[in-house]
Every structure is written in structure tokens, then in C-alpha cells.
Amino acid sequence: METEDIWRISVFVGVLAFVALWEALWPRRSQRVSKQIRWPRNLSLIIIDNIMIRLFVPVTAAAAAIWSANANFGIFHFIGLNNFVAIILSVILLDLLIYWQHVIFHRVPMLWQLHKLHHVDQDIDVTTGIRFHPVEIILSAFIKCIAVVILGVPFLGIVIFEIVLNAAAMFNHGNIKLPLALDRVLRIFIVTPDMHRVHHSTMPNETHSNFGFNLSLWDRFFNTYIDQPKLGHDEMQIGLPQYQDETKTGLIQLLTMPFRRK
């Protein structure tokens, strides 16, 4: 388990630093709100999220995978699936789970009150990809653990999935410039920054589209895909219309946002 944590932290720090450097050298858009305002809030949220996970989630998804293997429990174990195939299917099916979880958090009002913290960010960059309300993170952790046990996900499968998911979230939220021809090819397979940026538009139909975090096929298959923002990437407005004042979206306001009256 310690090795798993080392790998996850190493990849997290490495991808965060790499995408942040890419943003500094080749940004896709001009930033409206300075990083000095946004980054302390976003990075503070991930620290709080990790503390809350440790306090309120008794087991990790990796621990659930180990229990499943020891108990020979889960669909993959019941059908005697080859371990290599089980790992590949685990990454694909868990990615599908995250897609539908994302859709549901948009469509259920009570869950949207939690998830909208992610969308209130008035700009989008690498730190937006790790900016979530602690309660949403806790719910997501429980959902993931249940899925791991039901499927019988191998330990290596969940480790690979969580590393890829975290790296993909930081990559596709990055304010990074990709050649348009390369973007067109990549988005056939994975969610690119230009594809996911549409999801952070203030226009409601665009906000509720492009839900994928890693594999891009789910949005096309379930008809939630929008190719480009109506106003273009340079002119589109990021965030939610009613939360455009960065002075009113400090850390305390963000944490209490789901529990305050409209």
C-alpha cells in the first residue's frame, strides 16, 4: 500500500508540474483571474479533500480490491476472468462509472450543489482538475469502493485507473495549447483540453456536455458531446454566470456554498 501511495503522489506531482510549466510557456487562453487568487484556493481544497478522505472513508479503493481478491468476491472472480483482461476491463468500466457519476452530479439538484464548486472557478487550468468539494470527494470514494468490490477489480487495475484518472483530469483541465490537427486525432480516443473546456462554459447547454474525464467515446455514445464552444475558445466565458465575482468565491464561501440558501 505504501508503494501505491508513492506512485500516486509521484505521478500527481509530476503531472501537476509538467502541465503548469506547459501552461506558462504555451497557454491556450489569457487568464481573467490571477493565479495568486485562484491557486491558493484550489490547492487548499485538495489538502482539505485528502484530510477528509482519511477521516471519513475507512478503506481505500485499493484496499477494497485486496479484500475482493482475498475473498474471491466480485464478477471478475465469479467468472474466472484472466487477470490481464480483468485489469483492462476494470480501467474501461471504472471510466464509464466516472462518466455516469459526473452526469448524475449535474442532473440531481442536491448533488449539483456539491459539484458546482468545481464549475465556479472563473478560469480553467491544471488546478481546476483537482478542485472539488470534500463531500463530493467522500461520496465518490464510497461509490468507487462499491464498484471495485462488485466487479472484483484487481489491485493493479484500481492503481492504474486512479493514476490515469488523476493525470487525465489535470491534463484535460490544463490551459495548454495543442496543435488543432493533433487535438482532432487525440480526441478520438481521449478527452483533450479543448474538448473538456467546453464543459466549463457559462452557457448551460455547454456546461451540461462533455462529461468524460479520460476516454472520449462515452460522450459520443451517449449523445452528450459538443465539439466546440459557440463563442470559440478565446471568447467563451468560464464558470457559472451567477459566480463571476472572484472576491465572493473565497475558500470559506466555496466550502459552505452547497449549504447556503440561494
* DSSP, residue by residue, 59-85: S-HHHHHHHHHHHT-SHHHHTT--HHH
64 to 5, 58, 104: CA distances (angstroms): 15, 10, 24
Is residue 170 within 8 Å of 19, Cβ to Cβ? yes
Torsion 7-101-246-251 (CA) sign? negative
Calculate helix-pair angle for 155-172, 2-25, nearest 10 degrees.
20
Percent of the chain with pLDDT over 90: 91
> 238: which strand partners?
201
Tens digits of pLDDT across the chain (262 residues) = 567 778 888 999 999 999 999 999 999 999 989 899 999 999 999 999 999 999 999 889 999 999 999 999 999 999 999 999 999 999 999 999 999 999 999 999 999 999 999 999 999 999 999 999 999 999 999 999 999 999 999 999 999 999 999 999 999 999 999 999 999 999 999 999 999 999 999 999 999 999 999 999 999 999 999 999 999 999 999 999 999 988 889 999 999 999 986 5
Tell me, yes or no, if the pTM score tops 0.85.
yes
Contact 125, 23 (CB under 8 A): yes
Q: What is the pLDDT of residue 21?
A: 97
Asked whether 98 and 165 are in contact (CB, 8 A), the reply is yes
The predicted structure's pLDDT at residue 262: 59
* pLDDT tens per residue across span 61-109: 999 999 999 999 999 999 999 999 999 999 999 999 999 999 999 999 9
For the chain, where are the alpha helices, taking DSSP H only? 2-25, 35-56, 61-71, 75-78, 83-107, 109-120, 134-151, 155-172, 180-186, 193-197, 204-207, 217-221, 232-235, 251-256
DSSP helix/strand/coil, 207: helix
Q: What is the rounded CA–CA span in Å between residue 97 and residue 77?
A: 19
Distance of alpha carbon 134 from the chain centroid: 13
**β-bridge partners, 215:** 190
**CA 250 from centre of chain:** 21
